[in-house]
Structure 1
Amino acid sequence: MTHPPGPGGASRPATAAFCGACGQPGAGMQYCTRCGASLLLGPAPTQFPVPPVQHPAQYPPPAPFQAPARPPGGRGGSALPWIVGVLSLAVIALAATGIWLRTGGDDGNPSGQGATSEPTQPASPGSTDEPVDDPLDLGRGLVNQDCTGEFVVMLASSGDPSAYASTLAPALEAAPDAAYLVTDESCGSFNQSVDGNRIYAAYEGPFDSRAAACAARSASTFRGAYVRELDASVTERDVCGCETSAGEPVLSRHDPAGEVARQYAVTDVQVLLKRAGTKGSGVLNGTFDKALHQLVRRFQKENGLEADGVVGTDTWTALRAYC
């Protein structure tokens, strides 16, 4: 079965009214518009079949956007700053530990091992191993002494500001272990001032006993040294001649001058004459001059001794009653 000729006289093949595959109406059509099956009832003309209509694929709609969940804890902020802070503290701690190890820890030992602690030795009063107070610029320390009951050997003193250094310097040079003090900041046994001026004094010690101090005085080569007790109730110098009852030198006006040990003994006699209340006594210069000769004779007369002005055993015994 054929259709009437079309334009140009060509005849068209007969077609089915309905698609035999899917039932889609297709009158006058060579192929089904739904499934693309042929609707021709006879041999198909030589041509390419019409491709079936492809409908776009159907995809489910995209899911709505959701914000990422906040990390647990805190107020919902990022945990990154907290992590950075912890790491920073760890780095600082490690750096500090490294510095501590390099410097040897607490004891400053570079290796950190084998460190030993050396005992510190107390410095002598005149030691310059450590920074000391030296207001007179004498190269020795100013070391004041409290009332401790100990004894010191006084070498020299001055209440004249213009003569402080010149008076104390020779004494300090003669005694390498000596120091100096200012009396108004030390024990009250010292004179505190002279004409309103402070008194500076060079000394050796302190010593635990009078005997030890007297031994140090005897070994001293500086003239005028004497022993003083650090006791506020004792305002006079100590007399080393009171420490022994034997071996006192015999003293007289005719003795040779210049012997330091003899000068110390003469000073002891002067102190004891003063304590005895001998009229005219009081000068303590360590010199056996005419004035001292007369004082000794006066004392001897008052105590029933031969008044020869010579300090021998009997006179020493009488003087020692005033120790």
Structure 2
Amino acid sequence: MPEKDIYLLAIESSCDDTSAAVLHGRKMLSNVVATQQIHREYGGVVPELASRAHQQHIVPLVHQALAKANIDKKLLSAIAFTRGPGLMGSLLVGTSFAKSLSLGLGIPLIEVNHMEAHILAHFIETPGKEPPPFPFLAMTISGGHTQIVLVRGYSDMEVLGETLDDAVGEAFDKTAKLLGLPYPGGPLIDKYAASGDPEAFDFPIPKVPGLDFSFSGLKTSVLYFMQKHTEADPGFIERERDNICASLQRTIVTILMQKLRRAAKQTGIRHVAIGGGVAANSGIRKALAEAESKLGWTTYIPPFQYCTDNAGMIGIVGYLKYLDGRFSDLSVSAQARYKIGG
């Protein structure tokens, strides 16, 4: 089948966003997302509530994606879906739906690794943007993941470093909760940091060997810092909120950039691609811009709709796999822990 005739439906349900997308080759025809607001009440994602919401959203979203793309489901060439990693209950909803639709329409089924999708989102056809050339370094930073990956090709990736405990997005969100900010708090920390002094407070930078990360110790340090100061001054957090946000953001950006610079030095690669929801953080974007001028890097950040969890990124991986004939059979099952290349 000529590439121009390939229409693909993609489904993403790894955490708390349900998403469906339709691609025509590399071109995105639709990419719709239903964000689950109920988790705001609990200050974080509740797995059982997430899986129930996916069940409610998935059928209407698929209909919406097809309608927005203006195609009939009979034109679809394949179904791509997130197999993992993620929350098992959430993954099961998307996996089961994709398998059923594949069977019903008699078209191929394609499993996708969520982390590979964040990386390959750069290859969705986007006006005015060129994808990174191989090989390149990818850093995926989100609420659930922090990784540095050497990308030699679409299906040739090597994880060079990853978090040993908490993800960078979780460090932002948990600190925001300590500040009394609603979930998700990462974007709010970025907002308030713009008005604060990044040098106001010093938070420790974890000493982790190699290219791995650790953020649990940083979270604990921030907790003790706030407890100590609020005991002596109950109005401390309210008064110093912007400075705390700015200082935390500076610390986290420093950790990320130290590792990324080390990876670039070790590999000799100067093309750096960023993905994941935390890629929207202004501090990280500023640090990357400075690295371009000082270190000679070329950096790549996809449009925001492809940074957060979305089916569009699942679809581009599905499309690339379709071209190679890498299909899954109906025995495939969701996998909460699913390594790149696994």
TM-score (norm 2): 0.23
The higher relative CO (CA closer than 8 Å, separation ≥ 6) is in 2
Length-normalised TM-score, structure 1: 0.24
Structure 1 or 2, whichever has the larger Rg, is 1
